[in-house]
Amino acid sequence: MTNPASGSSGTNSSGDNAPLRAILVGVGAMGRGWLRNLQAADDVELVGVADLDVTAAKTALDEAGLSGVPVAGTLEELVDETAADFVVDVTIPEAHHAVTMQALRRGLPVLGEKPLAATLSEALDLVAAAQVYDRLFMVSQSRRYNPQLFAFRRMIRQLGGLGILVAEFFKAPHFGGFRDAMDHPLVLDMAIHTFDSVRFLTGAEPVAVYCDEYNPAWSWYAGDAATTAIFEMNDGSRFVYTGSWCSEGLETSWNSAWRASGEHGTTLWDGDGPPTLEIVEGRATAPVSDTGEVDPLDGIAGSLRDFVQALRSGRPPMGEARDNLMSLAMVHAAIASAGSRQRVLVADVLAQAHAEALARVDDAAVGDVLRSWTTLTPPS
């Protein structure tokens, strides 16, 4: 029996070295960053832009000096006209399922912004669809593409066994827009980055979580903007996250401020500069080799390069949707725990999402794939 964390890579290849043709869907705040990112990439050509707000999309293109690029209100209107090779989905989370499903059904690989989908059951649906339509679906977890994060991972590996990993996140952004109305703005929209980084840093998978979410009295968010969560990982370590999105003064990095404590010592990373390491005297471990690691570039430039290389080579990228599912499962397990005020097993949250996806699926082939998944969590 298969599960969503295994199976074929579902990649596509252009077969030559011509630039890959991209359609960008969603040109809001982050979409404008993606516009510049696609524009700057040598091996990508922007061939269409779709946004519900066509006027805003045209303005964004004019400002970027790309007035000749076709614009439409929906992805569907551009697919035939543009002969695109892939789609970049930078719409709001609630639109990720519809946009990605449409692209996959039209045979187009998708590089989507985080979160994978607005709900875990929608995420399972999309992972199954990527398998059915045999197209790469990658989530851009842009904060993985950071040379300092890679350096921090190397230091964690020198600690021997890992005991506890702590991440602190304190910022006070005034976004306006969809985040201000979300029930779980911090955990769903931001902590997904930190939770995903934990899986990258440790190689461990989440087993259970106890989480408390709340909204400080002075918060400008409708939903809970502050959270503390304790995760049990399948290597026996604990990950503790504490953060607030309405915390003014002495703010941390957007990447969080980190401490890892292990068998032989401790490593710290402030999220921006180089990490530091202290190994206890007499227990120095051999330095971990850099061999095999490429410069991850920075942010969305790194995720775009990873995606394009994956399309050309068939090698799975970081953030491949089946893998990213476990990062999103951490988010939804934390939300479930905060709601029930109980310790929650990640496997239970995935099983419930699986049942919801099966109850709702309207594509027989996607349903068959979903039914074939009898194991939804990696081995502990």
Helical pair 364-372 and 120-132, crossing angle rounded to 10 deg? 110
DSSP letter at 144 equals G
Of residues 32 through 51, those in contact with ligand NAD by CB under 6 A are: 50-51
CB of 93 to ligand NAD, least distance (A): 5
For ligand NAD, the binding residue among 176, 177, 236, 287 (CB under 6 A) is 177
Decide if residue 358 touches ligand NAD (CB under 6 A). no
Residues 183-242 that bind ligand NAD (CB under 6 A): 189
Q: For residue 104, state whether it binds ligand NAD (rule: CB under 6 A).
A: no
Query: Does 12 sit near ligand NAD (CB under 6 A)?
Result: no
* Contact residue for ligand NAD among 114, 184, 305, 322 (CB under 6 A): 114
Are the CB atoms for 297 and 148 separated by under 8 Å?
no
Task: Give me 258's structure tokens.
Answer: 């980190």
Minimal distance, residue 28 CB to ligand NAD, in Å: 2
DSSP element (H, E) containing 130: helix 120-132
Q: How many Cβ atoms sit within 10 Å of the Cβ of residue 313? A: 12
The 3-state secondary structure of 257-281, one letter per residue: EEEEEECCEEEEECCCCCCEEEECC
For residue 379, give both structure tokens: 């081995």
According to the binding rule CB under 6 A, does residue 365 interact with ligand NAD?
no
Q: What is the CA radius of gyration of the chain?
A: 21
Q: Does 99 bind ligand NAD (CB under 6 A)?
A: yes
The least CB distance from residue 189 to ligand NAD, in Å, is 5
CA dihedral 309, 310, 311, 312 (to 10 degrees): 50
- Residue 11 or 255: the one with the smaller Cβ distance to ligand NAD is 255
- Name residue 233's beta-bridge partners: 206
**Smallest separation, CB 78 to ligand NAD (Å):** 11
> Binding of ligand NAD at residue 90 (CB under 6 A)?
yes
Joined together, the tokens standing for residue 177 give: 């827009």
Cα 314-316-322 angle, rounded to 5 deg: 130
Give the residues across from 257 on adjacent strands: 168
Give the residue from 345, 353, 338, 354 showing the smallest Cα distance to 380: 345
**Given candidates 63, 178, 235, 295, which one binds ligand NAD under the rule CB under 6 A?**
178
Under rule CB under 6 A, residue 52 binds ligand NAD? yes
Task: Identify the residue among 12, 37, 91, 194 touching ligand NAD (CB under 6 A).
Answer: 91
* Smaller CB separation from ligand NAD, 95 or 301: 95
Q: Copy the structure tokens of residue 320.
A: 């491949």
Q: Cα separation of 306 and 320, whole Å?
A: 10
Instruction: Output the residue with the shortest Cβ distance to ligand NAD.
Output: 28
Q: Least separation, in Å, of the C-beta of 119 and ligand NAD?
A: 13
Contact stretch for ligand NAD (CB under 6 A) within 21-29, 78-86, 162-170, 348-356: 21-29
Residue 27 or 165: which CB sits closer to ligand NAD? Answer: 27
CB of 47 to ligand NAD, least distance (A): 16
Q: Summarize as ranges the residues that interact with ligand NAD (CB under 6 A).
A: 25-31, 50-53, 56, 90-93, 95, 98-99, 113-114, 142, 177-178, 189
